[in-house]
Chain A
Amino acid sequence: MNLSALTGFPLLSLVLWLPFLGTLLCLVFRHSALACRWLALLTTLTVLILVAWLFVGLPAESGWLLKEDYAWIPSFGIRYSLALDGISLLMVALTALLQVAAVLISWKQKQHPALFYALVLILETGIIGVFLATDLILFYLFWELMLIPMLFLIGVWGHGNRVYAALKFFFFTLAGSLCLLLSIISLYLIHGEQTGVYSFAFETLMQTQLSSGVEMLLYVGFLLAFVVKVPLFPFHTWLPDAHTEAPAAGSVDLAGLLLKTGIYGLIRFAFPLFPSAAQQSLPFLAVLALIGIFYAAWIAYAQTDIKRVVAYSSVAHMGFVILGLAAWNQLAWEGALLLMVNHGVTTGGLFILIAMLQDRTGSRDLRVLGGMWKTLPFFSAFFLLFCLASLGLPGLSNFAGEILVLLGAFSRWPLLAALAAAGVVFSAAYMLRVVQGVLWGPLGQMCKIGEDDCLHEDLDRREWLLLIPLAMLVIWLGIYPAPVLEPMSGPISLLLQSGGLP
């Protein structure tokens, strides 16, 4: 079907609210785990198909590709306005993909399955909403909507010290969010006093005249909310706990998607709304990003829990992304956004594999694991592939993003880029340590505590189904990233030139 025939149809709302509908249905059929499971899968698959159709059908132009705008709360000037450009399309596509993976990896969820799938689905609505909203209050609403499901996912289904991790995640993010809210309201009032138009529409607020002091103050409010979510060093301390204690689906969503919402907020809202303050902050961001790359790599190397290693590697990768953004040129931004997508796929894949490993052996500890290659060859092959992708092996996905970021950053900060390149070596060190500890060496713990006789099957059909598309994506994005770069290059150049809207 031709997309242009559908201009009047609220396609964006459909993509946004479909998962929410799934949530409601899950709560209705809460007594049947089977029904909920299939409902969740069907919903996420439908969203994925819709988004894939949009991805193929929409032209790679630089402006808004789809828009929706309705009055919502006129007395506050709040509108229900959604819009999609190349960057948000990419992010929504990543969300749709990883949510299917999150549902599949939790297929055997035994503890309160209905609630679990309901939360995963409502989380999807929150994330997609963040990527689509162009009214600041609507954006804030979705931003907060991501928090509650994640709190429950970690707190109810997590491992070990889960309540602590859940609350820590919640408070860090909320503290940032409230700064954001204060900035949003201030900006709204300042704009209202200047023009008499009280509106939260992003495009209207862009026109606000701000003195440089006020601009910096409001920008810091936005920045705090977003860099806590990214997370940029030194705001990252919630991340290792949350990632480690979260259940598999929670880790996939956290690393693959929630971190991206922070980056997205920066490029969509913080930079365009406060362009000169943003320019002033770039060196600062770049230095913090660089510290983050090395610091996280150093800590990751010292971990014995594989999930923690991967969690810290996320901090390092996000450091690369921020470094790319701070370089403020087309090449670096394309690299940064590509790296975001790549990181989502590879880290999502790694968390999925770790969940499978823990499912079989009952452990994530490098000290007791080992020798998997001999017993689970197919699993190990995938594990190796994703680890190599994560450390940035040329030809696999992360490399393409990282090299673009480094090239772009080099033209602006040669010294920082040179130092950051060394960070790639560090990531090789800790990832290879994981590979060595899990796949090779003497045979380690193979059974859960209390189980004596466990002859483990290699991957089953569901797991093959889950891993093959992700693995193909890893290779494809490494060899031929053009289809991903194409839709976002237009919006990026617009963002960079005007510091403004697509």
Chain B
Amino acid sequence: MSALELQSLLPLIILALGATGVLMLGAWYPSRNWILGGVLITLLAAFSAGLIDPAVPEVANLYSAGSYARFFVVLWSILGALTLLLSLRYTEIHDLPGSEYTALVLFAICGMGLLSSATSLVGLFLGLEAFTLVFYILIAFKRDDSYGAEAGLKYLVMGAVATGFLAFGISLIYAASGSFHLPEAFAGLQQAGGMRTLGLAGWAFMLVAIGFKVSLVPFHLWTPDVYQGAPAPVSGLLATGSKGAVFASLVPLFTALGPLKADLEVILWALAALSMLAGTFAALPQRNLKRMLAYSSVVHMGYLMIGLLVGGPEAHRALLFYVIAYVVATLGAFGVLTSFSRVDDEPQEYGDFRGLGYLHPRRSSVLSACLLSLAGIPPLVGFFAKFGIIAAALKGGYPGLAIIAILAALASLYYYLSPIVVLFMQQRDARELRRGGRYEFIVLALCFAAILLFGIYPSPLLEVLTGILP
């Protein structure tokens, strides 16, 4: 690997080395301030990704250093910084070790960055596994919490199976086409021939693995338990970054797929429709905010599948916009949950929030805004996200999916409004929850501002996305 290639990979190297450094030094000097150090490292990575021009466009035929990859490295680095800021008080009251936590989050961010920049199937595998492994630990980070242990185990078993599928699928595709590198890996599969079937079988295996990772129906069953059991900031990172990064890597993958996509159309259609419908029905009766968000994320993944299915620059732009809208709002929701958490427990049942809107008006408003944005109510960012996806579906000739999407959006209002009703329209009998910390408020204010600003004036973001799309 040449120096030029290393320079092009600099942001990810900063993250990886930073994580290692924090882990090592933390062993000698245990302190919770390492979390702030982690924030600095992520910001450094974000700046270096945004400001330093890469010397070569592609590193070792594995990872791209193009503007698309760089955009997501910046995005996930900022997400990492926000997650760490959120965790500052959380790790303190739950007495979690600061340096290990920081190092793991940094590794996860590095993995997401790698995944989003992958230009070969091996790069994709490495990136995906890099952060999945970290999440096994992070989810069960509260050692004496039985829910956490259950969640960690569940994620481990499901994740291991998915990894197996992914590796096997990639090897089949390699066997069929003779290349891991993205355009070439599919080029061999275009003509009908002996190896084409093998390649398609490989694709089926890969789709199963992807389905597990982003929790598409019918591979979603782990989601609610893991969200519920994991520490709130980790759930936030899991719900936003890990899913967003997978979709960010799928966009170039599906672009490279070319006409081969026609063979997958039925499967993708079914995955999208099933995720939207089953996710909606499962979310409706939930009375636990984390579980509700888990099922609602399944619905959102269904929306994103529409973007993949339709394909083309406009649909992909709509998809990426949706990813960002989803990430911002979901992070905000989990951020509020984090800031409410107390020493002994983490309020997540609706009953815990009764009448809280007048006791903690700012955080309750942010939570409501996040939920309404997820539901797609204008003028919040979720509206233009849904708008783009539905327009793409209609334009791409999938009116059935557009109608399912509209119906799911209507039904989603029920489960998104339930917490808001509990917060603002019920009599208060809830104890006062924890007063929020300064850093938590910064994160929540940023999320709120993003939800509102991108909702009212999405043009700059749309232009950036148009610019980075390959």
Residues on A close to B: CB < 8 A?
72-76, 112, 137, 140-141, 144-145, 147-148, 151-152, 155-156, 162-163, 166-167, 170-171, 174-175, 178-179, 181-182, 185-186, 188-189
Residues of A within 8 A of B387 (CB): 76, 137, 181, 185
| A175, B410: Cβ atoms closer than 8 Å | yes
The CA of A162 and the CA of B458, in the complex, are separated in Å by 35
Q: Considering only CB atoms, which chain B residue lies closest to A140 in the complex?
A: B378
Interface assignment of B299: CB less than 8 Å from any CB of chain A: no
When distances are taken between beta carbons in the complex, the residues of chain B under 8 Å from A148 are: 372, 377
Q: In angstroms, how far is the closest chain B Cβ from the Cβ of A238?
A: 14
Give 7 nearest A-B pairs by CB, closest first: A155-B425, A141-B378, A75-B462, A144-B378, A178-B406, A185-B391, A73-B459
A189's partner among B377, B394, B424, B426 (CB-CB below 8 A) is: B394
Is B449 in contact with chain A by the CB < 8 A criterion?
A: no
Contact between chains at B425 and A189 (CB < 8 Å): no
Residues of B within 8 Å of A76, CB to CB, are: 384, 387-388, 391, 462
With a cutoff of 8 Å between Cβ atoms, the chain B residues found around residue A186 in the complex are 394
Cβ–Cβ contact A189 & B459, under 8 A: no
B residues within 8 A CB of A179? 406
Contacts A175-B410, A182-B406 supplied; 6 other A-B pairs, CB < 8 Å: A72-B457, A76-B388, A144-B377, A144-B383, A167-B417, A181-B406
Q: A152-B424, A163-B421, A185-B391 are in contact. Are A74 and B413 (CB under 8 A)?
A: no
Cα distance, A268 to B448, chains bound together (Å): 35
Cα–Cα, bound, A171→B394 (Å): 24
15 of the cross-chain contacts (CB-CB < 8 Å) are A72-B459, A73-B457, A73-B462, A75-B463, A145-B378, A148-B372, A163-B426, A166-B421, A167-B414, A167-B421, A171-B410, A174-B410, A175-B410, A185-B390, A188-B391
Complex alpha-carbon distance, A137 and B377, angstroms = 13
Residues of chain B from 443 to 460 with CB closer than 8 A to chain A in the complex: 457-459
With an 8 A cutoff between CB atoms, is B409 at the interface? Answer: yes
Residue numbers in B under 8 Å from A147 (CB-CB): 377
**B239 CB-CB contact with A under 8 Å:** no
Q: Please tell me if the beta carbons of B424 and A185 are within 8 angstroms of each other in the complex.
A: no
Give bound CA distance, A364 to B413, whole Å. Answer: 33
* B424 x A73 contact (CB < 8 A): no
Across the two chains, which residue of chain B brings its CB closest to A143? Answer: B378
* Interface flag for B29 (CB, 8 Å): no
Q: Are B390 and A182 in contact (CB under 8 A)?
A: yes
Task: Name the B residues within 8 Å of A74 (CB-CB).
Answer: 459
B406–A174 CB distance below 8 A: no
User: Chain B contacts of A189 at CB under 8 A?
Assistant: 391, 394-395
Given A75-B459, A141-B379, CB of A162 within 8 Å of CB of B425: yes
Assess whether B402 is interfacial by the CB under 8 Å rule.
yes
Chain B residues with CB under 8 A of A156: 424-425
| Across-interface contacts of B424 in A (CB, < 8 A) | 152, 155-156
Q: What's the least CB distance linking A175 to chain B, in Å? A: 6
Residues of A within 8 A of B383 (CB): 141, 144
Q: A190 — nearest CB in chain B belongs to which residue? A: B394
Are A171 and B413 in touch, CB under 8 angstroms?
A: yes
Q: Taking A167-B417, A167-B421 as contacts, is the C-beta distance between A178 and B463 under 8 angstroms?
A: no
Residues of A within 8 A of B426 (CB): 163
- Residues in chain A near residue B457, CB distance under 8 A: 72-73
Q: How far is the CA of A395 from the CA of B282 in the complex (A)?
A: 59
Q: Is B288 interfacial (CB-CB < 8 Å)?
A: no
List residues 392-447 of chain B with CB under 8 A from any CB of chain A: 394-395, 402-403, 406, 409-410, 413-414, 417, 421, 424-426
Which B residues, 198 to 254, have Cβ-Cβ distances below 8 Å to chain A?
none
Among B403, B417, B426, max chain A CB count under 10 A is at: B417
Q: Closest residue to A182 on the B side, CB-wise? A: B406
Residue ID in chain A nearest B424 by CB atoms = A156
**Distance in Å from the Cβ of B316 to the closest Cβ of chain A?**
13
Assembly CA distance A163 to B421 (angstroms):
8
Q: For residue A175, which residues in chain B have a CB less than 8 angstroms away from its CB?
A: 410
What string of 1s and 0s marks CB contacts (under 8 Å) between B18-46 and chain A? 00000000000000000000000000000
List the A side residues contacting B458 at CB < 8 Å. Answer: 73
- Expressed in whole angstroms, the Cα–Cα distance for A285 and B384 within the complex equals 33
Counting CB contacts under 8 A, is B466 at the interface?
Answer: yes
Instruction: Please report the C-alpha to C-alpha distance between residue A115 and residue B424 in the assembled complex, in whole angstroms.
Output: 11
Q: Are A75 and B395 in contact (CB under 8 A)?
A: no
Q: Which A residues are CB-close (under 8 A) to B390?
A: 181-182, 185
In chain B, positions 338-391 with a C-beta closer than 8 Å to chain A are 358, 372, 377-379, 383-384, 387-388, 390-391
Q: How far is the CB of A217 from chain B (nearest CB, A)?
A: 10
Q: A490 CB to closest chain B CB, in angstroms?
A: 33
In angstroms, how far is the closest chain B Cβ from the Cβ of A380? 35
B425 in complex: contacting residue of A72, A75, A145, A163, CB < 8 Å:
A163
- Which of A72, A137, A145, A148 has the most C-beta atoms of chain B within 10 angstroms of its own C-beta? A148
- Please judge, given known A-B contacts A167-B421, A182-B402, whether A75 and B409 are in contact too, CB under 8 Å: no
Q: Which of A166, A178, A185 contacts B409 (CB 8 A)?
A: A178
CB interface residues, B 309-348, toward A, < 8 Å: none
How far, in whole Å, are A162 and B425 apart by their CA atoms in the complex? 9
Q: How far is the CB of A122 from chain B (nearest CB, A)?
A: 11
Residues of A within 8 A of B463 (CB): 75
Q: Once the chains are docked, how many angstroms separate the CA of A185 from the CA of B426?
A: 37
Report whether B403 and A182 are in contact in the complex, using a CB–CB cutoff of 8 Å: yes
Q: List chain A residues, Cβ under 8 A from B410.
A: 171, 174-175, 178
Query: When chains A and B are docked, how far (Å) is the Cα of A185 from the Cα of B394?
Result: 8
Q: A412 → chain B, closest Cβ, in Å?
A: 36
Interface centre among B414, B421, B462 (most CB of A within 10 A): B421
- List of B residues within 8 angstroms of A166 by Cβ: 421, 425
Specify which chain B residues have a CB less than 8 angstroms from the CB of A185 in the assembled complex: 387, 390-391, 394
Measured CA separation A182–B403 after assembly (Å)? 8
Kindly name the residue among A140, A151, A166 whose own CB sees the greatest number of chain B CB atoms within 10 A. Answer: A151
Q: Which residues of B contact A178 (CB under 8 A)?
A: 406, 409-410
A59 to chain B, nearest CB (A): 34
- Would you call A174 and B413 a contact (CB within 8 A)? yes
Complex Cα distance, B387 from A189, in Å, reads 13
On chain B, the residues within 8 Å of A151 by CB distance are 417
Q: Which of B377, B413, B458 has the most CB of A within 10 A?
A: B413
What CA separation (Å) do A55 and B390 show in the bound complex? Answer: 41
Distance between B403 CB and nearest chain A CB, rounded to angstroms = 7
State A15–B390 Cα separation when bound (angstroms).
Answer: 33
A181 to B406, CA, bound (A): 9
**Which residue of the partner chain, among B394, B403, B421, B466, contacts A75 with CB atoms under 8 Å?**
B466
Q: Which of B358, B378, B391, B406 contacts A112 (CB 8 A)?
A: B358
Question: Which residue of chain A has its CB nearest to the CB of B422?
Answer: A163
- A251 CB to closest chain B CB (Å) equals 18
B357 CB → nearest A CB, Å: 9
**Whole-angstrom distance between the alpha carbons of A181 and B390 in the complex?**
10
Q: Select from chain B the residue with minimum beta-carbon distance to A74.
A: B459
CA distance in complex: A365, B387 (Å): 46
Shortest CB distance A45–B (Å): 26
List A contacts of B378 (CB < 8 A). 140-141, 144-145
How far does the Cβ of B345 sit from chain A's closest Cβ, in whole Å?
27
Residues of A close to B425: CB separation below 8 A? 155-156, 162-163, 166
Task: Kindly provide the distance from the CB of A118 to the nearest chain B CB, expressed in whole angstroms.
Answer: 11
Give Cα A188–Cα B388 distance, bound, in whole angstroms. 12
B402 contacts which chain A residues (CB < 8 A)? 182
In the bound complex, what is the Cα–Cα distance between A163 and B414 (angstroms)? 12
A36 to chain B, nearest CB (A): 14
Contacts of B377 in A (CB 8 A): 144, 147-148
B466 to chain A, nearest CB (A): 7
Q: A186 vs B391: C-alpha distance in the bound complex, in angstroms?
A: 8
A102 and B467 CA atoms in complex are apart in Å by: 49
User: Measured between alpha carbons, how far is A147 from B383 in the docked complex, in Å?
Assistant: 14
Contacting residues, chain B, for A152 (C-beta < 8 A): 424
B324 to chain A, nearest CB (A): 15
In Å, the complex CA distance between A478 and B466 comes to: 58
Instruction: Please name all residues of chain A whose beta carbon is closer than 8 Å to the beta carbon of B417 when the two chains form the complex.
Output: 151, 167, 170
Q: How far is the CB of B173 from chain A (nearest CB, A)?
A: 35
